[in-house]
């Protein structure tokens, strides 16, 4: 317990330390509902005006642990064009990162069996704040942790690309890089404190109709970035009566999760996920909580009777 006060500092150093080489994007357990965040080609693919909101509190009980707030909106803008907007705020330790991105997609029908190919483009800005006054270092005279080195609204551009295939309501697969640009952040001594590397995502899922009232959807999200191990999330969800969703997920060598959701109406879906850490860090936290809300307008005039599973 005597080392707990050092953990926030350790988290910051892992992300922004002078010898750090990469920085991971935010992670989500309910990624299957939040696809536009990682793939701009998903924008507008649901065929109606869709609003999403997600809040994630990671490693509850650990001071300085990540907290993420994410909003998104997307809609078809024409027969083949979709548009969307995403915003997230990610706080970890003494740093706060904010991102706002506009997404556009163009969709081509591939055959008469409702198979579609979309490619997307995202453009936006990323803003970083670092407040060293929140630290409690052992050596208060160390100039590296001086508030004079604070970072305020350090802005960098975001350019993302994505590909997305889907076949009706049966399967989907996407490949994307939400930000192609690699950005170096420097302190006053021109020493690199953080290097944002390109993250590449592969996402996919398949829907099995087990009966008239029961569907089963396994899904996968893999994330790769230079300087870090490949992160893999695998999930399995059951949908009952087009209303209740329940399932489980596994994050490779990291966490196991339980997921539940309910479609209250054609417009409103609410989801919740709980992660239990499988690493030694589980000794210092009580798990992670994630809440998701989706609100949608329209769709009935497009022949959509029940909400799509992805």
pLDDT at 4: 39
- Supply the pLDDT for residue 301: 44
**pLDDT given for residue 216 in this prediction:** 94
Is residue 293 one of the residues assigned to a domain? Answer: no
Q: Is residue 159 part of a domain?
A: yes
The phi and psi torsions of 281 (rounded to 5 degrees) equal -65, -20
Residue 138 lies in a domain: yes
Please indicate, yes or no, if residue 213 is contained in any of the structural domains.
Answer: no
What pLDDT, on a 0 to 100 scale, did the predictor assign at position 139?
Answer: 52
pTM: 0.82
Going residue by residue through the chain (310 aa), what tens digit of pLDDT does each one get?
Answer: 333 344 444 444 444 443 333 345 678 899 999 899 999 999 999 889 999 999 999 999 888 889 999 999 999 998 899 999 999 999 988 889 999 999 999 999 987 668 899 999 999 999 988 887 777 665 555 555 566 667 777 888 999 999 999 988 889 999 999 999 877 655 544 444 556 778 999 999 999 999 999 999 999 999 998 877 888 999 999 999 989 999 999 999 889 999 999 999 989 999 999 999 998 888 888 899 999 999 999 765 444 445 567 7
Q: Is residue 156 situated within a structural domain?
A: yes
CA distance 224 to 42: 19
CA dist 241 → 46, 113, 159, 304 (Å): 20, 25, 40, 16
Give CA–CA dist 67/26, Å, rounded: 9
Range of the domain at 69: 4-204
260 vs 267: CA distance, rounded Å: 18
Please indicate, yes or no, if residue 284 is contained in any of the structural domains.
no
Which string of DSSP letters, residue by residue, matches 161-205? EEEEEEETTTEEEEEEES----EEEE-TT--EEEEEPPEEEEEEE
Q: Return d(Cα 133, Cα 151) in angstroms, integer.
A: 11
pLDDT at 19: 38
Q: Look at the chain and report how many structural domains it folds into.
A: 1
Cα atoms in the Cβ-side hemisphere of radius 13 Å centred on 16: 24
What is the model's pLDDT at position 176? 95
Cβ(154)–Cβ(185) below 8 Å: yes
Q: Is residue 132 part of a domain?
A: yes
Which of 224, 211, 237, 212 is CA-nearest to residue 33? 237
Angle CA 99–295–35, to nearest 5: 45
Cα–Cα distance measured from residue 21 to residue 287, given in angstroms and rounded to the nearest whole number: 27
Q: What is the pLDDT of residue 299?
A: 61
DSSP labels, 147-164: GGG-EEEEEEEEEEEEEE
With H, G, I as helix, E, B as strand and everything else as coil, classify residue 145.
helix
């Amino acid at each position: 317990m005597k080392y707990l006060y050092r953990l926030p500092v350790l988290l910051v150093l892992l992300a922004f330390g002078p010898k750090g080489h990469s920085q991971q994007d935010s992670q989500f357990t309910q990624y299957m509902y939040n696809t536009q965040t990682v793939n701009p080609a998903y924008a507008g693919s649901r065929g109606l005006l869709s609003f999403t909101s997600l809040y994630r509190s990671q490693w509850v009980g650990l001071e300085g642990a990540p907290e993420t707030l994410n909003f998104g909106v997307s809609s078809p803008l024409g027969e083949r064009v979709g548009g969307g907007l995403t915003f997230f705020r990610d706080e970890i330790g003494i740093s706060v990162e904010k991102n706002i991105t506009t997404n556009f997609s163009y969709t081509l029908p591939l055959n008469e069996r409702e198979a579609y190919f979309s490619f997307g483009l995202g453009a936006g800005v990323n803003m970083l704040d670092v407040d060293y006054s929140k630290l409690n270092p052992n050596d208060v005279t160390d100039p590296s942790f001086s508030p004079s080195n604070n970072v305020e609204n350090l802005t960098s551009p975001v350019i993302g690309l994505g590909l997305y295939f889907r076949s009706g309501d049966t399967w989907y697969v996407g490949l994307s890089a939400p930000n192609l640009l690699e950005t170096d952040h420097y302190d006053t001594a021109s020493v690199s404190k953080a290097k944002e590397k390109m993250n590449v995502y592969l996402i996919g899922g398949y829907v099995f109709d087990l009966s008239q009232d029961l569907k089963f959807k396994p899904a996968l999200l893999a994330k790769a970035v230079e300087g870090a191990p490949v992160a893999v999330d695998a999930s399995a969800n059951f949908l009952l009566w087009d209303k209740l969703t329940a399932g489980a997920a596994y994050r490779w060598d990291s966490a196991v999760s339980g997921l539940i959701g309910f479609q209250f109406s054609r417009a409103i879906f609410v989801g919740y996920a709980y992660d239990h850490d499988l690493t030694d860090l589980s000794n210092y936290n009580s798990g992670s909580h994630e809440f998701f809300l989706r609100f949608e307008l329209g769709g009935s005039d497009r022949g959509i009777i029940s909400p799509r599973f992805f």
